[in-house]
Structure 1
Amino acid sequence: MSPTVNGATVVARAEAPATTASAPPRRRRMPSTRWAALAFLAPLVAYLAIFYAYPLYRNVELSLHDYTPRAFVQGNAEFLGLANYADVIASNTFGPALRNTALFTLVSIAAQYAIGLALAVFFHHHFRLSGVLRAMFLVPWLLPLIVSASTWSWMLNSENGIVNSVLEAFGIGQINWLTSPDSALWSVIVANIWLGIPFNLVILYAGLQNISGDLYEAAALDGANAWQRFWRVTFPLLRPVSAITLLLGLIYTLKVVDVIWIMTTGGPGNASITLAVWSYREAFGTGQPDFSPAAAVGNLLIVIALAAGFVYLYLQRRQERT
């Protein structure tokens, strides 16, 4: 019978005997959302490891050894350390290749961006046939590079090219566009500019679509003319899009090989050679492959591209803070 206190029945509860040893902690199960995230991340990690990390590792390994074709097959290349890099920098080709790379890259991306921006602003004002004309400007982007480079090579041919034929009609003598050291580099620059304009046009035109028309109306009410609206409204609001466009253009232009190789093969002499063309020529273009110096030149290009990427990230963070 249960005891009572002030008329209330109190039910006695038996206490469990105290245990001398505590129970082991239970393992926490990983949430299903984390497993799902890892499952979605795994293909990307595998892709980066197979197609980026491993080739980069192999390229660095090639540049640190003496890989002749025989050693490449047998796998017994001699370790040289940084000797290949020293030979590349001390080579007579390094100076012209570095100078031509800088000139080819800077002039190309500056002209591509300026012309692409002008066309994007032009097509931003909708008019009849604007869609058709935009599609026509995309033709260079859609053609295979070998076709475009071959077309430019034919157009600039010294003897039967259409450019010289037009110049001769105006009384201008023959110009050796692709065989003269003074004009070979500028010829491939013009061809590369033509190839890169559609990319800049598409990206910048898309950026213009995100700018509200109310801003232009407010600027017009304040008395701003067309140039002031562009400089005070369009250009500042396009800075993020412009930055990524220039960065992608820089990376793409640094590694251009096919256009230069088809048109001039880096010649005459080293007049139009760049670091990318030099790397390709050392590995595949002479009939006597020299893989290690080619890999060293390629790694120098990678360092330049990484430096440009870090500069972009620095400027982006600086802009976000301000």
Structure 2
Amino acid sequence: MTTTTPTPSPAVRERSPGTAADPGAAARRRRAVSQWLFIAPAIAYMLVFFSYPLVRNVVMSFQQYTPATYFTGEAPFTGLDNWRAVLTDELFAASLWHTLVFTAGSLAGQFVIGMALALFFSRRFPLSGVMRSLLLLPWLIPMVVAGTVWRRVLDQETGVLNEALQGLNLTSGAIPWLSSPDFALLSVILVNIWIGIPFNMVILYGGLQEIPREIREAAVLDGAGFFRRFFGVTLPMLKPVVTVVLVLGFMSTVKILDLILALTNGGPANATETLGTHTYQLSFLQLDFGQGAVVGNVLILVSMVFAVIYLRANREGMAR
């Protein structure tokens, strides 16, 4: 006795999953297309304003690119000559070191003081909103304006800071804040810390407001002191916010140019020369765009390495 398998009716076949007439598959396709349409402007923006300049900068670092190129259109490839010339230059090594010190010092100072102010303002008191608004002023001032003002404040002969220190008998003489290689880099770091404190305070303050009050109250009831509550409760719950603050702070600090130009122009004796100012010197003063592109590529690479390492470490920490 043989058995026959009934053939599905046409209506059943049309409703079977995966067929062209499946309403679920059609809805998924429409949803996928709509998702791509939403992100298409962002992809186009990245390709035009980021990917193309990045690729062009990499290509330029292997070319002899001079002002004559803009008239003749000729930019012969030189192989690794530009890279060899830059990487073996002592000024490049000094610029890289100054960039790391400047970035690390700025981030540490901005984060510590910003966190302290965020914790301070998390407790409501009269005029707290007014004080927070006033502390935002350094963030709103253009970088060049801030650098120009601080250059006058830190002037060795007529600066307000030296006059105040000597008037209080804290120093016996004028300190060469910007004219001495021993003080110049420290002075630039302190000015950048002053500028970046409001950003850290605002972001961290917003993160603190998202921590449930019940959790902090439970820690107090358990007898936890301030430092135990901060390192055991507050800081772990702020980890995503801290990640954003440090990554964005690094990206904005490592490439700073205008502030250093306004304060010291990379001097004295190249004491404040960073990768950003070194790129500017090579490209726009010495007009060697090929070597300037090399330093710019190194700067981009440093930023990418930091971002990848930090985000991966943060992702692994959250997974635990």
TM (norm. structure 1) is: 0.88
1:319 match: 317
- Could you give the per-residue CA deviations for residues 17-70 of structure 1, whole angstroms, max 9, x where no partner exists? xxxxxxxx9799794434433322221111101110011011111111010110
Given that 2:20 and 2:26 are in contact with CA atoms closer than 8 Å, whether structure 1 keeps it comes out as no
- Could you give the per-residue CA deviations for residues 171-211 of structure 1, whole angstroms, max 9, x where no partner exists? 43111111111111111111100011111111111111111
SS at match of 1:255: coil
1:218 match: 218
Q: Distance in 1 between matches of 2:308 and 2:249?
A: 15
Q: Distance in 2 between matches of 1:225 and 1:298?
A: 47
1:88 match: 86
Alignment pair present for 1:252 and 2:252: yes
RMSD: 1.8
- Could you give the per-residue CA deviations for residues 275-307 of structure 1, whole angstroms, max 9, x where no partner exists? 1111011112x2x41111111001001111110
Given that 2:154 and 2:177 are in contact with CA atoms closer than 8 Å, whether structure 1 keeps it comes out as yes
1:278 match: 278
Q: Distance in 2 between matches of 1:196 and 1:81?
A: 40
Q: Aligned match of 1:125 in 123, 126, 129?
A: 123
Question: What is the identity, as a one-letter code, of the residue corresponding to 2:146?
Answer: S
Alignment pair present for 1:147 and 2:152: no
- Could you give the per-residue CA deviations for residues 200-253 of structure 1, whole angstroms, max 9, x where no partner exists? 111111111111110111111111122222121111111221122111111111
More off after superposition, 68-77 vs 134-143: 68-77
How far is the alpha carbon of 1:260 from its aligned partner? 0.5
More off after superposition, 40-49 vs 27-36: 27-36
1:204 match: 204
| Residues 1:213 and 1:282: Cα distance change in structure 2 (over 3 Å) | same
Alignment pair present for 1:160 and 2:158: yes
SS at match of 2:129: helix
| Residues 1:122 and 1:26: Cα distance change in structure 2 (over 3 Å) | closer
Q: Distance in 2 between matches of 1:48 and 1:299?
A: 18
How far is the alpha carbon of 1:104 from its aligned partner? 0.5
Alignment pair present for 1:40 and 2:65: no
How far is the alpha carbon of 1:82 from its aligned partner? 2.2
Aligned structure 1 segments of 4 or more residues deviating by more than 6 angstroms? 25-30
Q: Distance in 2 between matches of 1:312 and 1:168?
A: 44
Gaps of 5+ in 1: 1-24
Q: Distance in 1 between matches of 2:35 and 2:173?
A: 67
SS at match of 1:66: coil
SS at match of 1:76: coil
Q: Distance in 2 between matches of 1:64 and 1:130?
A: 55
| Residues 1:66 and 1:220: Cα distance change in structure 2 (over 3 Å) | same
How far is the alpha carbon of 1:157 from its aligned partner? 1.0
Identity %: 43
Matches within 5 A, 1:291-302: 291-302=289-300
SS at match of 1:79: coil
Instruction: Tell me the matched-pair count.
Output: 296
| Residues 1:26 and 1:102: Cα distance change in structure 2 (over 3 Å) | closer
1:194 match: 194
Q: Distance in 2 between matches of 1:41 and 1:222?
A: 48
Question: What is the identity, as a one-letter code, of the residue corresponding to 1:44?
Answer: A
How far is the alpha carbon of 1:83 from its aligned partner? 1.9
Question: What is the identity, as a one-letter code, of the residue corresponding to 1:116?
Answer: G
